[in-house]
Amino acid sequence: MKKLFLAGAAFLALTSLAFADDAALEAKARAIQSRIVTIDTHTDIPTFFATDRYDPGKLNGPPALVDIPRMKSGGLDAVFFIVYVDQTKRDAAGYAEAASEAFAKFAAIHRMTDEQYAKDIGLALTSADIRRIHAEGKRVALIGIENGYAIGRHPELLDIYYGLGARYFGLVHNGHNDIADSAQPQSDLGDKPNDKGGEHGGLSEYGREIVARCNDLGIMVDVSHSAKSTTLDAIAASRVPIIASHSAVYALNPHPRNMSDEEMKALAAKGGVIQIVAFDEYLQPMPKEKKAARGRLAKSLGFTSLDAFFAASPEAKEKFAQGVAEIDKKWPRANVALLADHIDYAVKLIGIDHVGIASDFQGGGGIAGWSNAGETFNVTKELVKRGYTEAEIGKLWGGNLMRVMDAVAAGRKP
Ligand SMILES: [Zn+2]
C-alpha cells in the first residue's frame, strides 16, 4: 500500500512538473512571439477573396484557413497573399486568361487593404513598411506571384504587377512555361521531362531576361516549384539573393518539389532563404492510397480549382471536411514536430540566416497543429522547445526574409 502511495505521489509530482514545464515554455514562447514579426510567405486566395463570399474580416469556416481574426488569435503578423494562376495552354487565349486571373487577385487583395479593412491590415511593399504597419498594431499583407505563366510572353506585365505591389515572382508552377522547367512536368499539357532532356533544361533565354528584369525592378525571384536545373540557373543568373517561398527538404523526403542539399547550399551562398513549408506531402512520403483517396474526394465534390472549392455549398464543404478527417485518421497528417525537423535540417546544413517558414494555406498546406492561421503559435512553441533563441526565432519567422527583401530592393535599377 505504502509503495503504491509513493509511486502515486511520484507520478503526481512528475506530471505537475511536466505541467509547470509546459506552462513555462508556453509563457516564454508567447513572450517571444509578441516581440518578433511573424511572416508566412505563402497563402493562396480565390479570385473572389474579400467579397462577402470570403470576408477576411470575419472568422471563416473551412476551406478558408486565413482571416484577420485568426491572424490575430494565432499571432501571425504578416502574410504574403498569392496571385496564383492556373496553367493551361501556352497560347494567346491561355495567357489572356492567366493575366485576367492575376488582375482579379490583385484587385481582391487591394479591396481588403485599401477599402474594406484598411484600419486592420496594411499592404507592405518594403521591409520598412512591414515594421511600420506592425508597429501600428495592424496586420500586414504582402503580395507574391505564383507561376510565371501569369506574364506569358509579355514581360511588361511584370512591371505592372510590381506596380500593383507584387514583391516576389514564382518562376513556374506545375508544368513547364516559357520561362523555365518545372519540378513537376504536366504530361496532359504535353510537357517533356525536366532538367537534362527537358524543355529548356533550366531557365530559357526568355527566363534569363525575366530574372534580370526582376532584379532591375526589385522583385524577389522565387524558385519553389522549379526544376533543380531551373533553381540552380536562377541562383547563378540573379544579381541578388533569391527565395524558395514554400519548399521542404529533399533529403528528408525525396519529393520533386523539395530542395536538394546542393540547391539549398547554392541558395544560401547567394544570401537567399528557403521558407520551409507546412505541406503534408512535402514533409513526409504520401502513400499512394492516400493521394488517390484525396483525389477521389475532391473530384466527387467537383473541387477542381480553388475557386470551385470556395464557391461550393456549405453541405459540400462539410462533406469535404469530414472526408479529409477520415483520410487523416487512416494516414496521419504531418505535424508541427516534423515541420521543425525540416527546419532543423536546413538550419544545420545552410545556417540559421537562410531558413524561414511558410504555410501554403489554401494551396494544399496545413498540418496537425498548424492547420489554420489561428494555430500559428504552435510553431513558435515548438521552436522554443527545441532550444532556438529569441534572435534565431525572429530570423526564422521573418527576419531572414526581410533581409532578402532589403537586398533585392537595394539592387534595383529602375
Ligand atoms: Zn505552390
In angstroms, the CA 411 to CA 293 distance is: 47
Task: Provide the strand spans (E) within 214-371.
Answer: 220-222, 243-247, 273-277, 355-358
For residue 222, tell me if it sits in a domain: yes
Residue 50 Cα distances to 78, 110, 269, angstroms: 17, 9, 39
Boundary of a domain, candidates 276, 301, 330: 330
**Total structural domains in the chain?**
2
Do 368 and 318 lie in a common domain? Answer: no
- Ligand 1: distance of its center to the CA of 11 in Å? 47
- Ligand 1: distance of its center to the CA of 209 in Å? 23
Do 264 and 321 lie in a common domain? Answer: no
- Ligand 1: distance of its center to the CA of 10 in Å? 50
For residue 24, tell me if it sits in a domain: no
The confidence score (pLDDT) of residue 229 equals: 97
Looking up residue 66, the CATH number of its domain turns out to be 3.20.20.140
The confidence score (pLDDT) of residue 303 equals: 86
Do 157 and 293 lie in a common domain? Answer: no
pTM of the predicted model as reported, rounded to 2 decimal places: 0.94
Q: Which residues contact 57 (CB under 8 A, 6 or more apart)?
A: 67, 68, 69, 116, 117, 120
Inter-residue contact 347 to 46 (CB < 8 Å): no
Q: How far is CA 319 from the centre of its chain?
A: 26
For residue 386, tell me if it sits in a domain: yes
In angstroms, the CA 277 to CA 367 distance is: 10
For residue 16, tell me if it sits in a domain: no
- Ligand 1: distance of its center to the CA of 17 in Å? 42
- Ligand 1: distance of its center to the CA of 311 in Å? 21
Do 193 and 102 lie in a common domain? Answer: yes
Strands 243-247 and 166-170: unpaired
Return phi, psi of residue 256, to 5°: -60, -25
- Ligand 1: distance of its center to the CA of 25 in Å? 33
Provide the residue-wise pLDDT of the chain in tens; the chain has 414 residues.
556 666 666 666 666 667 778 899 999 999 999 999 999 999 999 999 999 999 999 999 888 999 999 999 999 999 999 999 999 999 999 999 999 999 999 999 999 999 999 999 999 999 999 999 999 999 999 999 999 999 999 999 999 999 999 999 999 999 999 999 999 999 888 898 887 888 999 999 999 999 999 999 999 999 999 999 999 999 999 999 999 999 999 999 999 999 999 999 999 999 999 999 999 999 999 999 999 999 999 999 988 888 888 889 989 989 998 999 999 999 999 999 999 999 999 999 999 999 999 999 999 999 999 999 999 999 999 999 999 999 999 999 999 999 999 999 999 997
- Ligand 1: distance of its center to the CA of 24 in Å? 36
Do 309 and 390 lie in a common domain? Answer: no
Boundary of a domain, candidates 274, 305, 330: 330
Q: Which domain holds residue 377?
A: 34-286+335-410
Residue type (1 letter), 297: L
Do 220 and 347 lie in a common domain? Answer: yes
- Ligand 1: distance of its center to the CA of 257 in Å? 9
- Ligand 1: distance of its center to the CA of 173 in Å? 7
The confidence score (pLDDT) of residue 355 equals: 99
- Ligand 1: distance of its center to the CA of 16 in Å? 43
Do 262 and 310 lie in a common domain? Answer: no
Task: State the cell numbers at 148.
Answer: 510565371
* DSSP run (H or E) holding 159: helix 156-163
The confidence score (pLDDT) of residue 9 equals: 67
Do 139 and 271 lie in a common domain? Answer: yes
Do 137 and 215 lie in a common domain? Answer: yes
- Ligand 1: distance of its center to the CA of 146 in Å? 7
Do 228 and 298 lie in a common domain? Answer: no
Among candidate residues 226, 285, 237, 291, the one with its CA nearest the CA of residue 260: 226
- Ligand 1: distance of its center to the CA of 34 in Å? 29
The confidence score (pLDDT) of residue 8 equals: 65
Do 352 and 282 lie in a common domain? Answer: yes
